[in-house]
Amino acid sequence: MRFADFPFLRYLPFILIGVFIGQSNWSPSLMSLALALSLLWLGYLIVMVKLEKGKSKFQSSYLAYVALLVFGALLVQNRLAQTDFNTEILHSDSYLAEVTLYDQQKPNSFENLLAVKSILVDRVWKDAQVKVLIYHQNEQGLEPGQVLLVKKKPEQIPSPLNPLEFDYRQYLERQGIHFRQFLGKNYQVVDSARTSVFDYFLVRLRHEIGEMLKSKIPDENSAQIALALLLGQKKELDPTIREAYTQAGVMHILAVSGLHVGIIYALFILILKPLKMKKEKARVYLLFVILIIWLYAFLTGLSPSVVRAATMFSLLTFGQMREREPSIYNILAFSAILMITINPHVIYEVGFQLSYLAVLGIVMIQPLILNLWLPRHKVLEYIWQLTSVSVAAQLVTFPLSIYYFHVFPTYFLLGNLLILPLAFVIMQVGVPLMMLGWIPLLGEVLGWVLSWLIWLQNWIAEAIRVIPGGKLDRLTIDFAGMLVVWGMLLIIAAWEFGSKRKLTWIGLSILFLWAGFRFYSELQKPSRELIIYQGKKSQLLDFSVSGETYSWNQGLDGGEISYSVEPNRIHNQLAQFPTSLIAQELDSGKLEFISAGFTFDPTHKKLWFLAPPKLIYSWSEGQWVAMQTKDMLVVDSLAYRILF
């Protein structure tokens, strides 16, 4: 097995590096990159012509790889140019916008997405193309294609105030959404847009199938799971059910992914065997299977994992039609390049990262685990294969899961062994229900069967949830730690093919570098540190000294602490419930924290230091920014880090 046999796998790293370059502040402009790419390809063609005539010794591959780097950067700059938003809407008096989705129920309102078409600025209507995330309270609801007149301007989505807090603004920006607005009932439906039948066909079809599933499945909780499992609509999931599936380690079955596409693929391919079609008919049928897979991918919203799986199964099917078996590594890399070309920001989506890591783990690690034991009985062999797949996928994905979610499901293996086979059966009933549920009596029977199967699945997930020690939480790993884990797994995967001596030295070098990095990080930790977090109306103070954390909370509730404070506490391995920081209240209303060496005025949001601190940082645009050191600090709008 040679690396040169996987061309797309060789191209992918250069495109990824190019994407990171294009995302950086020092990236060349779109026109400069386009010109550079044109010159590189021209140079490549000239070199190739000379090579054919035997007049050149220059390696053409160098030009090709540089061109791939430029191509990756060009993708990002082109995407940024397309998503540049018009800030004039912030100065508008009114705007006209088209509804693009069906309403999503929220606790006190309905959420929807508007595509703005025109804005009124200084009594002049101007064309505009921006998206606004809205919340309204009209019980009649909105439908795709309606045109609204809104007589007030939206607001820009603010950046997070606290360190490592989820960046909702960045999350929406990557979807092209830069504004939000609470409308209540202050809008007017003025028209229905004259769109073609196909403009909102899939949106309407997804909505109609969802409503049909709700009507055919008698149990409400089962209907919620059916919407998530079959259509990827997880927003209506009950928190208790969500927690049960998370602790069972099977939350991935509720996010429409490659697993679901694989089940649908298997369902239609298994039909082919008993029919024993001739070659020509088999090819037509396989084209029909590809069409069904992509229809399902579009129907469920084209999530990264679904697109990856649909692309892979399509290529595998084309290979079957040509009686060839393409390399799984080439297929994986090609599907990734295709997705990055369409949207370079997809590499930042957790679903994209977890999906590819899981498949890589199954392809590289699962055979090694499978060979550890060769069961003699069919049932044991099936259980062992499912076990090896689950363990391989978990080994490769757990560093990333901990990095993002800080949780590890202890009983993931039990959950996968019991729930995954049941999910396969549920899909075999659910897909026919989606296609044939409109038929009287048949839809009711399929809905009842599906409801009972999902009830059983929920019961198993809940039974696993109540087992003590179901999850390890508040776990943390840094980027270097992830690289160490993946490096060791690669060494294990290559152990039988490479030089064991070289691999051992590489492994020891990785561990030595990581230990040195950890030692350096520990030396850099300050002995005394104060973090000031911002809530909606108040502040929370964490004071750390010699590894102990003390906290003072002015009024942040549990939800705010979980969302705004906990990410930084977990990252820095601070206590979840710190010791109270004792303050003495002065006659002026100020609070004197004698042990910490500062005084705080909660009314005017001012902080005085008994002795000037060494460094002061403010949290801005996702990083700590150094400020001028002074004896007094106003803490009314940002998070601050003070080192003593």
Instruction: Give the pLDDT confidence score for residue 87 in this predicted structure.
Output: 79
* pLDDT confidence of residue 35: 92
**pLDDT confidence of residue 500:** 85
Tell me the pLDDT tens digit for each residue of 181-195. 999 888 999 877 666
- Give the type of residue at 256: V
Supply 321's token pair.
């039609």
pLDDT in tens, 528-537: 899 999 988 8
Select the more confidently predicted residue: 366 or 524. 366
Chain position carrying tokens 């930084």: 568
Question: What is the pLDDT confidence band of residue 497, given thresholds at 50, 70 and 90?
Answer: confident
The beta-strand segments (E) located in 306-377 are: none
471-473 and 407-409: which strand pairing?
Answer: antiparallel
Rounded distance between C-alpha atoms, residue 362 and residue 329, angstroms? 12
% of the chain beyond a pLDDT of 70: 93
- Per-residue pLDDT, 195: 60
pLDDT band at 618 (very low <50, low <70, confident <90, very high): very high
pLDDT at 449: 94
pLDDT tier at 136 (50, 70, 90 boundaries)? very high
pLDDT of res. 624: 92
pLDDT at 485 over 90: yes
**pLDDT higher than threshold 80 for residue 3:** no
Q: Can you give the pLDDT at residue 638?
A: 87
Q: Give whole-number Cα distances, 180 to 130, 162, 235, in Å.
A: 11, 20, 19
Q: Does the pLDDT value for residue 58 go beyond 70?
A: no
Taking residues 516-536, report their average pLDDT.
Answer: 88
Which pairing describes strands 548-553 and 579-580: parallel, antiparallel, or unpaired?
A: parallel
Cα 456–Cα 462–Cα 464 angle in degrees, nearest 5: 105
Identify whether the C-beta of residue 566 lies closer than 8 Å to the C-beta of residue 531. no
Task: Quickly count: other Cβ atoms within 10 Å of residue 68's Cβ.
Answer: 22
pLDDT of residue 18: 92
Q: Tell which wins on pLDDT, 326 or 427.
A: 427
Helix (H) or strand (E) holding 403: helix 378-405
Per-range mean pLDDT, top range of 12-21, 122-131, 227-236: 12-21
Tens digit of pLDDT for each residue in 566-583?
999 998 888 888 989 888
Q: Are 495 and 503 in contact (CB under 8 A)?
A: yes
Angle at 501 between CA 499 and CA 507, to 5 degrees: 100
pLDDT at 73 over 60: yes
**Which of 85-94, 111-120, 253-262, 493-502 is predicted most confidently?**
111-120
Please determine, for residue 297, whether its predicted confidence score (pLDDT) is greater than 60: yes
Residue percentage of the chain with pLDDT more than 90: 26
Q: According to the model, what pLDDT value does residue 307 have?
A: 82
Q: Could you tell me the pLDDT band of residue 83, with boundaries at 50, 70 and 90?
A: low
What is residue 147's DSSP assignment?
A: E
Q: Calculate the CA dihedral of residues 138, 144, 150, 152 and round it to 10 degrees.
A: 90
Strands 606-609 and 615-620, bridge-based pairing: unpaired
Examine the pLDDT at 270 and tell me if it is beyond 70: no
Q: pLDDT higher for 86 or 537? A: 537
pLDDT above 70 for 146 = yes
Distances 314 to 289, 308, 359, 604 between C-alpha atoms, Å: 9, 10, 16, 63
> In 3-state terms, what secondary structure has residue 480?
helix
Q: What is the pLDDT of residues 93-133, one digit of tens each?
A: 899 999 998 998 888 899 999 999 999 888 889 888 889 99
Q: Output the average pLDDT for the chain.
A: 86
pLDDT score, position 460 = 92
Q: Does 196 score more than 60 pLDDT?
A: no
Instruction: With a cut of 80, say whether residue 60 has pLDDT above it.
Output: no
Q: For residue range 458-478, what is the model confidence (pLDDT) as tens digits?
A: 999 999 988 888 888 889 998
Two structure tokens written together for 163: 């360190």
Q: What angle do CA 322, 326, 328 make, to 5 degrees?
A: 150
Average pLDDT over residues 483-508: 89
Question: What local confidence, expressed as pLDDT, does residue 258 receive?
Answer: 72
Q: Is the pLDDT of residue 551 over 90?
A: yes
Q: What pLDDT score does 276 carry?
A: 63
Both tokens of residue 79?
């995407």
pLDDT for residue 279 is more than 80:
no
